[in-house]
């Protein structure tokens, strides 16, 4: 715990895309999402008049709800800074005192402490409990640091709610942020709904980005980057699917071709036998001279495969009647 | 065309046209018988290996896909 001097600079936080197994931590890291925290001085100036507690010259207990990327933490940080410096933007608050602020920075996103020194300027009267669980941290601050304002980021668990209730009973205003699209959304979360119902917060602020991002759908729970990632992933898996189908198809086709070769061979031999039978008929009953028999129109020998008939034709033999002339011999070195 | 049926046809080509009709017919019958035996063998092989190749191709492709993914 340290009472912080002013310091500025930049800090970043990172998200990892990986399997998050509770027992093993993060595994199979595939990507990093680096989020650079932005320090916007004066971001809270327009808001402070609305959440000012004029009776006690401080700020009201406030819940800031917004989807991610809308500036919750940035706003919270600037409120802390303004209150801690006593930098009240309202004219009537010129002589309001600066207040001691207790910050429970569980995820090191508000002050971004590095070795106990906050990277961001959170004001001279600010106590930062770095990397401390919110619920216990708030109780510790309440007990020992006499804060006049408590701040915590991203509340939502039942213990957080208990601690905030405790602070409310101790008369210390609490400024907290919560992930939610809007107030309606926030009421859907049990812990937050109970806090709201009990009146632990005097004000609720919905943040919405101005300018380019205003037309981001109100409920968009993630940034465009994540959407693009998902689209890219879908395209990639489509490509893989197509590749798999192609490989499967070609493999099956090769198999069928090999099988067809066996079938072809059977058919070829059958045709050959048929052709020989025709030839036998021609010689035995038709007494057709061999060249003529071999060159019979396809009607007679339509089944003979061209290769065989070529070979046969070269064997220019005259098989017919009595004698085979010597010249009839030969050149039957057929065979392709 | 594989070796056995090719040799049968070549042998027939050698004998064809060098003798009289009966002899020729005998040669033709011989060749036909040889080829018939071959055909029976081929049919047998077709039944045995045809199916094997078909499923082998598919399975090999499946294996490759599984290895790739």
Any B CB within 8 A of A244 CB:
yes
Number of structural domains in chain A = 2
Q: What is the pLDDT of residues B4-51, one digit of tens each?
A: 888 888 888 888 777 888 888 888 888 888 889 988 988 898 888 888
* Nearest C-alpha neighbor of A113 from the set A124, A105, A101, A123: A105
Asked if the structure places residue A121 within a domain, the reply is: yes
- Identify whether A251 is part of a domain: no
Question: Domain boundary at A238, A264, A287, which?
Answer: A238
> Could you tell me if A19 and A130 lie in one domain?
no
Same domain, A228 and A107: yes
pLDDT score for A252: 92
Which residue in A has a C-alpha nearest to residue B4's C-alpha? A269
Angle at A309 between CA A303 and CA A314, to 5 degrees: 170
pLDDT of residue A13: 55
- Encoded tokens for A80: 């802390």
Query: Is there a contact between B54 and A256 if contact means CB atoms under 8 Å apart?
Result: yes
Is residue A260 a contact partner of residue B5, using CB atoms and an 8 Å limit?
no
Domain hosting residue A117, numbered range: 39-238
Q: For residue A178, tell me if it sits in a domain.
A: yes
A233 in a structural domain: yes
Does any domain span residue A326? no
Residues A13, A108, single domain; the answer is no
Q: Which residues of B touch A329 (CB under 8 A)?
A: 17-18
Q: Pick the last residue of a domain from A208, A238, A268.
A: A238
Closest CB to A272: pick one of B35, B43, B55: B35
Is position A300 within any domain?
Answer: no
The secondary structure of B3-31 as a DSSP string is HHHHHHHHHHHHHTTSS-HHHHHHHHHHH
Nearest Cα of chain B lies from the Cα of A225 at a distance, in angstroms, of: 26
Comparing CB atoms, the residue among A243, A252, A273 nearest residue B57 is: A252
Q: Residues A11, A96: one domain? A: no
Q: Cβ–Cβ of B58/A321 closer than 8 Å?
A: no
Chain A CB contacts of B55 under 8 Å are 255
Chain B: residues touching A (Cβ < 8 Å): 1-2, 5-6, 9-10, 12-14, 16-21, 24-25, 28-29, 31-32, 35-36, 38-39, 42-43, 45-46, 49-51, 53-58, 60-62, 64-65, 68-69
pLDDT of residue A246: 92
Last residue of a domain, one of A205, A222, A238: A238
What pLDDT sits at residue A218? 39
Please judge whether B32 and A320 are an interchain contact, meaning their C-beta atoms are less than 8 angstroms apart.
no
Inside any domain, residue A333: no
Q: Same structural domain for residues A161 and A210?
A: yes
Give the integer Cα–Cα distance in Å for B15 and B30: 11
Using a CB-CB distance cutoff of 8 angstroms, which residues of chain B are in contact with residue A333? 10, 13-14
**Does A261 reside within a domain?**
no
Please check whether residues A7 and A67 belong to one and the same domain. Answer: no
Asked whether the beta carbons of residue B64 and residue A251 sit closer than 8 angstroms, the reply is yes
With a pLDDT cut of 90, the percent of chain A lying above it is 7
Q: Within this chain, do residues A23 and A113 fall inside the same structural domain, yes or no? A: no
In terms of domains, do A50 and A109 share one? yes
Q: Are residues A10 and A119 in the same domain?
A: no
Judge if A52 and A195 occupy the same domain. Answer: yes
Residues A80 and A196 in one domain: yes
Task: Find the CATH number of the domain harbouring A47.
Answer: 3.40.50.300
Residue A194 shares a structural domain with residue A134: yes
Nearest CA in chain A to B22: A284
Inspect the interface and report whether the beta carbons of A262 and B42 lie closer than 8 Å: yes
Burial label, A46 (beta-carbon count in 10 A; 0-12, 13-18, 19+): exposed
Strands annotated E in A135-285: 149-152, 174-179, 203-206
Local mean pLDDT, 10-residue blocks, chain A (336 residues) = 37 60 71 81 86 87 87 88 88 87 88 85 89 87 89 87 86 89 84 86 83 41 51 80 91 91 89 87 80 67 44 40 38 38
pLDDT tens-digit map of A276-333: 888 888 888 887 777 777 776 555 444 444 444 444 444 434 343 333 333 333 334 3
């Amino acid at each position: 715990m340290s009472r912080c001097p002013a310091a500025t600079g930049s800090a970043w936080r990172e998200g990892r895309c990986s399997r998050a197994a509770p027992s093993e931590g993060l595994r199979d890291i595939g990507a990093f999402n680096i989020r650079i925290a932005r320090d916007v001085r004066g971001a809270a100036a327009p808001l402070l008049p609305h959440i000012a507690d004029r009776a006690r010259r401080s700020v009201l207990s406030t819940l800031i709800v917004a989807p991610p990327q809308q500036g919750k933490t940035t706003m919270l940080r600037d409120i802390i800074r303004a209150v801690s410096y006593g930098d009240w933007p309202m004219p009537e608050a010129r002589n309001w005192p600066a207040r001691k602020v207790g910050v429970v920075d569980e995820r090191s996103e508000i002050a971004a402490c590095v070795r106990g020194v906050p990277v961001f300027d959170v004001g001279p009267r600010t106590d930062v409990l770095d990397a401390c669980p919110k619920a216990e941290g708030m109780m510790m601050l309440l007990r020992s640091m006499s804060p006049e304002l408590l701040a915590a980021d991203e509340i939502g668990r039942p213990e957080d709610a208990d601690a905030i209730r405790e602070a409310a009973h101790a008369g210390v205003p609490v400024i907290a942020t919560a992930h939610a699209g809007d107030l309606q959304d926030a009421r859907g979360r049990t812990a937050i709904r109970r806090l709201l119902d009990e009146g632990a917060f005097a004000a609720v602020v919905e943040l919405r980005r101005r300018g380019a991002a205003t037309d981001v759908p109100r409920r968009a729970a993630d940034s465009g980057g994540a959407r693009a990632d998902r689209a890219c992933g879908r395209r990639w898996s489509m490509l893989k699917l197509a590749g798999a189908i192609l490989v499967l198809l070609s493999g099956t086709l090769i198999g069928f071709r090999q099988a067809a070769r066996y079938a072809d061979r059977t058919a070829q031999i059958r045709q050959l036998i048929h052709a020989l039978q025709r030839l036998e008929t021609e010689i035995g009953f038709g007494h057709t001279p061999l060249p003529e028999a071999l060159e019979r129109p396809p009607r007679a020998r339509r089944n003979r495969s061209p290769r065989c008939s070529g070979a046969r034709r070269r064997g220019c033999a005259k098989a017919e009647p009595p004698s085979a002339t010597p010249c009839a011999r030969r050149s039957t070195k057929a065979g392709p | 065309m594989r070796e056995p049926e090719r040799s049968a046809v070549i042998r027939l080509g050698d004998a064809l046209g060098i003798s009289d009709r009966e002899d020729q017919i005998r040669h033709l019958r011989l060749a036909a018988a040889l080829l018939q035996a071959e055909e029976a063998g081929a049919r047998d092989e077709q039944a045995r290996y045809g199916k094997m190749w078909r499923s082998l191709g598919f399975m090999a492709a499946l294996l490759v896909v599984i290895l790739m993914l």
